[in-house]
Amino acid sequence: MTVNEALKQIEAFENTNSALNHAAGILYYDGDTVAPEGSVEIRALTLGEISRMSYELITSPSFIEALETLYANLSELSEIDQRKVKELYREYDNTRKIPMQEMIDFQIHLTESSAVWHKAKETNDFASFEPYLQKTFDTLKKFASYTDPEKDPYEVCLDKYERGLTKEKCDKFFKALREKLVPLIARVGKADQIDDSVLHLNYPKSQQMKFTDFLVDVMDIDRKHFGVGETEHPFTINFTSKDVRITTHYYEDNLSSSLYSVVHECGHALYELNSMPELFRTTLEGGVSMAIHESQSRFYENIIGRSKPFCALILPFLKNEFPEQLGNVGEDEFYRMINRSEPSLIRTEADELTYALHVMVRYELEKKMMSGEITAKDLPSEWNRLYKEYLGVDVPDDKNGVLQDSHWSNANIGYFPSYALGSAYGAQMLNEMKKDIDVDSAINSGKLTAINNWLREKIWKFGCLYDPTDLFNMVCGEFNPEVYVEYLENKFTEVYKI
Amino acid sequence: MTVNEALKQIEAFENTNSALNHAAGILYYDGDTVAPEGSVEIRALTLGEISRMSYELITSPSFIEALETLYANLSELSEIDQRKVKELYREYDNTRKIPMQEMIDFQIHLTESSAVWHKAKETNDFASFEPYLQKTFDTLKKFASYTDPEKDPYEVCLDKYERGLTKEKCDKFFKALREKLVPLIARVGKADQIDDSVLHLNYPKSQQMKFTDFLVDVMDIDRKHFGVGETEHPFTINFTSKDVRITTHYYEDNLSSSLYSVVHECGHALYELNSMPELFRTTLEGGVSMAIHESQSRFYENIIGRSKPFCALILPFLKNEFPEQLGNVGEDEFYRMINRSEPSLIRTEADELTYALHVMVRYELEKKMMSGEITAKDLPSEWNRLYKEYLGVDVPDDKNGVLQDSHWSNANIGYFPSYALGSAYGAQMLNEMKKDIDVDSAINSGKLTAINNWLREKIWKFGCLYDPTDLFNMVCGEFNPEVYVEYLENKFTEVYKI
Query: Over the stretch A44-79, which tens digit does the pLDDT of each residue have?
Result: 999 999 999 999 999 999 999 999 999 999 999 999
> What residues of B are labeled active site?
265
> How confident is the model at residue A13, as a pLDDT?
97
> How confident is the model at residue B233, as a pLDDT?
86
* 10-residue stretch averages of pLDDT, chain B, 498 residues long: 96 97 96 94 94 94 96 96 96 91 92 93 97 98 96 96 94 94 94 97 97 98 97 93 97 96 98 98 96 97 98 98 96 97 94 96 98 98 97 96 95 96 97 98 98 98 97 97 97 96
Domain match, B214 and B349 both: yes
Contact A36 B227 (CB under 8 A): yes
> How confident is the model at residue B232, as a pLDDT?
85
Question: Looking at chain B, which residue has its C-alpha nearest residue A281?
Answer: B42
CB atoms within 10 A of CB B355: 23
Domain match, B144 and B182 both: no
Which band of pLDDT confidence, cut at 50, 70 and 90, is reported for residue A349?
Answer: confident
A100 in B contact zone (CB under 8 Å): no
d(CA B458, CA B464): 13
- Domain assignment of residue A233, yes or no: yes
The CATH number linked to B290 is 1.10.1370.30
All residues of chain B having their beta carbon less than 8 Å from the beta carbon of residue A226 are 36
**pTM (two decimals):** 0.92
All residues of chain A having their beta carbon less than 8 Å from the beta carbon of residue B30 are 26, 29-30
- Domain assignment of residue B157, yes or no: no
Which band of pLDDT confidence, cut at 50, 70 and 90, is reported for residue A232?
Answer: confident
To the nearest whole Å, the CA of A283 is away from the closest chain B CA by 15
Contact A49 B16 (CB under 8 A): yes
- Domain assignment of residue A160, yes or no: no
- Domain assignment of residue B155, yes or no: no
Contact B26 A22 (CB under 8 A): no
d(CA A452, CA A267): 9
Distance of CA B51 to the CA centre of its chain: 23
To the nearest whole Å, the CA of A241 is away from the closest chain B CA by 9
Contact A225 B38 (CB under 8 A): yes
- Domain assignment of residue A162, yes or no: no
Could you tell me the residue range of the domain that residue B19 belongs to? 3-150
SS (H, E, C) B146-171: HHCCCCCHHHHHHHHHCCCCCHHHHH
Q: Which of A15, A243, A274, A280 to mutate to test the interface with B (most CBs of B within 10 A)?
A: A243
B194 in A contact zone (CB under 8 Å): no
To the nearest whole Å, the CA of A34 is away from the closest chain B CA by 7
Q: Which residues contact A55 (CB under 8 A, 6 or more apart)?
A: A95, A100, A103, A104
d(CA A395, CA A331): 34
All residues of chain B having their beta carbon less than 8 Å from the beta carbon of residue A41 are 242
Contact B38 A229 (CB under 8 A): no
**Whose CA is closest to B414, among B364, B345, B366, B469?**
B366
Q: Are B224 and B261 in contact (CB under 8 A)?
A: no
Tell me the average pLDDT of chain A. 96
A226 in B contact zone (CB under 8 Å): yes
Of A150, A184, A211, the position where a domain reaches its end is: A150
d(CA A352, CA A336): 12
Question: Looking at chain B, which residue has its C-alpha nearest residue A225?
Answer: B38
| Three-class secondary structure of residue B413 per DSSP | coil
- Domain assignment of residue B159, yes or no: no
A42 in B contact zone (CB under 8 Å): yes
Contact B42 A223 (CB under 8 A): no
How many domains, in total, are found in chain B? 2
Domain match, A106 and A180 both: no
Eight-state DSSP code of residue B80: H
Domain match, A79 and A30 both: yes
Classify the complex by whether its ipTM is higher than 0.95, answering yes or no: no
Contact B49 A18 (CB under 8 A): yes
Query: Strand locations in A242-372, DSSP E?
Result: 244-248
- Domain assignment of residue B160, yes or no: no
d(CA B384, CA B402): 8
All residues of chain B having their beta carbon less than 8 Å from the beta carbon of residue A50 are 19, 23
To the nearest whole Å, the CA of A224 is away from the closest chain B CA by 5
A115 in B contact zone (CB under 8 Å): no
Domain match, A100 and A196 both: no
- Domain assignment of residue A484, yes or no: yes
Q: In the predicted model, is pLDDT for residue A348 greater than 90?
A: no
> How confident is the model at residue B113, as a pLDDT?
94
Domain match, B273 and B362 both: yes
All residues of chain B having their beta carbon less than 8 Å from the beta carbon of residue A119 are none
d(CA B8, CA A349): 51
B185 in A contact zone (CB under 8 Å): no
Question: Looking at chain A, which residue has its C-alpha nearest residue B24?
Answer: A23
To the nearest whole Å, the CA of A222 is away from the closest chain B CA by 9
Domain match, B89 and B199 both: no
Of B124, B150, B176, the position where a domain reaches its end is: B150
B329 in A contact zone (CB under 8 Å): no
Please give the single-letter amino acid code of residue B114.
S
To the nearest whole Å, the CA of B362 is away from the closest chain A CA by 34
| Three-class secondary structure of residue B330 per DSSP | coil
Which band of pLDDT confidence, cut at 50, 70 and 90, is reported for residue A207?
Answer: very high
Q: In the predicted model, is pLDDT for residue A233 greater than 90?
A: no
Domain match, A217 and A258 both: yes
Domain match, A315 and A459 both: yes
In this complex, which of A16, A30, A36 lies closest to B49 when CB atoms are compared?
A: A16
